[in-house]
Amino acid sequence: MTSTRQRALDAAIELVGTEGLRSLTHAKVDARAGLPKGSTSNYFRTRDALTVGLVEWMAQKELAELTPPFSPRTGDDLVELLAGLLDFTTGPNRTLTAARLALFSEAAHDDQVRAAVSRGHQMMRVWAESVLADLGAPDPVTGASALISMCEGMILHRIARGANDDPRPMLRLVTSAVLA
């Protein structure tokens, strides 16, 4: 059963992902989640606390997508995995991704949001470094940084510009360099 807190956070994702960060208010989250007035503020007293909670919740949800079934055995497997993740994040998971991108911009002005975004990024880096080390990359730390940066850029272009190019050629290029 989904908790009230999770319902509020999922509603916040929907709001920010469809209407932008300015729509993030306790009252709007309560209404979107179908919760009694004041429910969201019971968990997140301030808008800042709600924003940080939202970033952390999104990171948890996204990292859950990368659990053990997603352990590529070859560079080609990694390319296919990343292409699938790009398609998922900009297709069925587009609203969450748009919310994440809006919060990235907020991180430029808010130290708490920046810290929460950095924690989520670090979790992703740990996963990517582990995958690259398992695949024999000579420098998994730099390789993870390169792959994550490229994927984030592709996601941004897909969301902001509507780009829908096949990501595989670029993924193959960067993956082959990272694993060489």
Residue with tokens 């309560």: 30
Q: What is the mean pLDDT of the chain?
A: 92
Per-residue pLDDT tens digits for 17-46? 999 999 999 999 999 999 999 999 999 999
Degrees (nearest 5) of the Cα angle 85, 90, 96? Answer: 95
**What's the length of the chain?**
180
DSSP code of 162? -
In this prediction, residue 127 carries a pLDDT of: 87
In this prediction, residue 132 carries a pLDDT of: 96
CB 19 within 8 A of CB 37: no
In this prediction, residue 1 carries a pLDDT of: 67
In this prediction, residue 168 carries a pLDDT of: 98
Residue 142 and residue 144: Cα distance in Å, rounded? 5
Per-residue pLDDT tens digits for 53-102? 998 898 888 777 665 566 799 999 999 999 998 999 999 999 999 999 99
In this prediction, residue 66 carries a pLDDT of: 60
Q: Which two tokens stand for residue 110?
A: 């808010």
Backbone torsion region of residue 165, taken as left when φ is above 0, otherwise alpha when ψ lies between -120 and 50, otherwise beta: beta
Burial class of residue 64 (count of CB atoms within 10 Å of its CB; 0-12, 13-18, 19+):
exposed
Backbone torsion region of residue 162, taken as left when φ is above 0, otherwise alpha when ψ lies between -120 and 50, otherwise beta: left
In this prediction, residue 77 carries a pLDDT of: 95
Domains, the chain, ranges and CATH? 54-179 (1.10.357.10)
Share of the chain above pLDDT 70, in %: 96
Share of the chain above pLDDT 90, in %: 73
Degrees (nearest 5) of the Cα angle 167, 58, 7? Answer: 130
Per-residue pLDDT tens digits for 128-166? 999 999 999 999 999 999 999 999 999 999 999 988 889
Residue 170 and residue 87: Cα distance in Å, rounded? 14
